[in-house]
Amino acid sequence: MRHRELLTAAAALRPPGESAQREFSAVRERVGDELALRLRRREDIARLIGGDNHRLMEHNIHNMLRFMERIFARPDAGLFVSTAAWSLQAQSAQGFRREYWSLHFGLLADILRETLSTRTLFETRPFLTFLSRNLRALGDPANTAGRHRAAG
């Protein structure tokens, strides 16, 4: 998928309603902690994150969830795509493997299913599904480099 297609797909995502945003915000920190815990428990995590990047992994988990909270409240397809791409590419440069991201999003989906109401899950899941399904394209600098400014 090329950059323009990523933007079009991201722009088509319908933002969660206010109630879903509030529910997501209320559990965001706990979800991040649980995701970090489940990932740390894996015997292969050092290989997946490039060695001793555990603190970076945990920091990035919480940053990603805060960023999703912001995107839910103020959708911006360009910012969403460029920041996701920048984050994936930056973490790849630190040793994170594509396998990590597949695992990350799979576990996150499990935790959100266990934590959120059915309605909130239904309203927030498309954004995380977008990221999960587009890992290859978002991680490819040829598709995204220099296209948009990432969130700082």
**pTM of this prediction?**
0.89
pLDDT band at 44 (very low <50, low <70, confident <90, very high): very high
* Model pLDDT, residue 149: 47
Cα–Cα–Cα angle for 64, 66, 68, rounded to 5 degrees: 70
54-67 pLDDT tens trace = 999 999 999 999 99
Q: Hey, what are 149's tokens?
A: 């400014």
- pLDDT above 90 for 152: no
